[in-house]
Structure 1
Amino acid sequence: MLKIRLRQGEKMVVNGAVLRAGAPTTLWLENDAAILRGREVMRPEEADTPARRLYFSCMMAYLDPARRQHHQHDLVALLDDLLCALESPHAKAACAALACDAANGQYYRALAHCRTLIEHEAALLGLAADSVKH
């Protein structure tokens, strides 16, 4: 059983349906479902970097089982592209863990590795922006 607390106005997605709490709410999930809290949901227009596109593809594979095979194909292609571009052993390890979780159908766990890659990418982009300024 999973206990979820939502603040007033907070959103979450359950099996693709967007829910919003009208008041502070506690929910108990008593079976398997694809759940993301509002802060974990990425809109398509936010998938504007390689790591963010990977997150979006992984999120869609998690939330959309009817089209999971299509999303898996995208995920593999995006992961391959990102792996070729990365040099950091830490980031490559996150890619390997993500691939393992996705291969085992553990898309929610894979999203955590995507967040690691997004943070890595943001740090690299920040360094690149700093070097352009100087």
Structure 2
Amino acid sequence: MKISLRAGEKIYVNGAVLRADRKVSLEFMNDVTFLLESHVIQANETTTPLRQLYFAAQVMLVDPAVKQDAFLAFKRMLASLLATFENKQILKELKLIDEMVCKDRVFEALKAIRLLYALEAQILSGDAEQTIPSQSDQNTRPEAIA
């Protein structure tokens, strides 16, 4: 898999954080887990339940040393969300996200969680009538695994 980074951009590869000092293309020649800087959220950005869930899943990718602890935190948060949300679409998507994480498809799960942010915002604002495209309706690409 080949990716391009802009000058100053970071990439998280197998737990290491790399920063490009100039525009560069990288080609991964074997299996690697990575996350681009644009998909990484900081702890202070975990302002909603789904962002907190995303952060726990993200930690599984960027810090392999604490992957099991992050997985347990993810499962606890997920159970809480499944017990709290009433919206059928969000509940269905959360179950699919759980399956992805259990199958070690964490990058795909992160993508699916990001797709739920808009629906979560509508629910939190009291307007839960809208829907979003279902993750199961979209083609997913395991971009984190080369």
Give the TM-score normalised by structure 1.
0.85
Note the alpha carbon deviations across 1:42-99, whole angstroms, 9 max, x for none.
1111112111110000011122233222111110110111112222222112101111
Number of aligned residue pairs? 127
More helix by share: 1
Q: Where do 5+ consecutive residues of structure 2 fail to align? A: 128-146
SS at match of 1:22: coil
Q: Where do 5+ consecutive residues of structure 1 fail to align? A: 130-134
Let me know the Cα RMSD of the aligned residues: 1.7
- AA at the equivalent of 1:56: F
SS at match of 1:36: strand
2:76 maps to what in 1?
77
2:28 maps to what in 1?
29
Task: Indicate if the aligned counterparts of 1:91 and 1:116 stay in contact, CA closer than 8 A.
Answer: no
Note the alpha carbon deviations across 1:78-134, whole angstroms, 9 max, x for none.
011111222222211210111101111111111112112323212333x349xxxxx
Aligned mates of 2:51, 2:15 — CA distance in 1:
19
1:5 maps to what in 2?
4
1:54 maps to what in 2?
53
Question: What is the percentage of aligned positions where both structures have the same residue?
Answer: 33
Task: Indicate if the aligned counterparts of 1:5 and 1:26 stay in contact, CA closer than 8 A.
Answer: yes
Task: Indicate if the aligned counterparts of 2:16 and 2:62 stay in contact, CA closer than 8 A.
Answer: no
Q: Point out 4+ residue stretches in structure 1 off by more than 6 angstroms.
A: none
